Amino acid sequence: KEVVEEEEEELPLGVEELLESGDPVLDLSYRKFKRLPSRVCELMHLEKLYVCGNRLRKVPDSFSQLQGLRTLALDFNKLEDVPLAVCELTSLTHLYLGSNRLMTLPPEFTNLKNLRCFWLESNYFQRFPRELYDLPNLKSLQMGDNRLKALPQDFCRMESLKGLWLYGNRFETFPKVLLRMESLEILDLDKNKITELPSLKRLRTLHLFSYDHNPVKEPPKVGEDVFLVGEGAAEFMEIREARKERRRKAAEEEAEELAQELAQELAQAGEEPVIHGILKNSSSKPATDE
């Protein structure tokens, strides 16, 4: 009995009602759990489970029974390894493991083929985890505040990636392999040690690039619609918008001049101007059925 009592903590106030609610969403965040209540693993109807901000070092093996889970948040715990039971939750699309003590991913992590969004920020990764290459649907990857100094040359295998957060790492040069990431829409390299940025014009889908808090003296060359955050970005975008406005006005003036020239030519030829297929000054009446 003493062993059972040691393993199964007394449930905090209100948790019993949550476990019995039948709701597909369960939030057990910031409850000071050292162990996940075993009853959670019996809730087969769960689709979203939030267990953030506790003191978990592991989860029970029976956790793998929760095959309906789509979203799992285990950030702000004390995990030193990704639980293998989590790697068996093959329906997961969103997984949050930030602010733990992780350094690697297990080989079994490649089972999570449906994963679309993975947050792994504020951990201890020194090398990029290649297990992520085998996740064909991964679109959003958050690896800020780790210890990465470089990206592998085959990083471009992550063809479906649209959002990449690498702020607060240890990059001293811009990872050139990123120039081959043709689907990237968001790229965040804040708070690194990068001194020079290449042209990013080849990244045609890029919408946002953040390079703030790097020792960079000027912004990179980017496409016309890319929003920049960093040294010199505000001035750069002001100049770019002014240039766009000048081009727009010039195009309007040119179109107006062409319209005037056309009207003059028609007047000289004795023809009435046609607007949207209707004679502008015509006094003729529409035909009527006899």
Name the average pLDDT for the chain: 88
How many CA atoms, within 13 angstroms, populate the side-chain half-sphere of residue 187? 25
What does the domain layout of the chain look like in residue ranges? 2-231, 232-273
- pLDDT on residue 8: 61
Show Cβ contacts of residue 245 under 8 Å, excluding neighbours closer than 6 positions.
none
Of 118, 188, 129, 120, the closest CA to residue 160 belongs to 118
Q: Is the pLDDT of residue 167 over 50?
A: yes
Mean pLDDT to the nearest integer, 117-130: 98
Q: Is the pLDDT of residue 1 over 80?
A: no
Give the pLDDT band of residue 155 (cuts 50, 70, 90): very high
Can you name the CATH fold of 2-231? 3.80.10
Contact 223, 199 (CB under 8 A): no
Mean pLDDT to the nearest integer, 127-146: 98
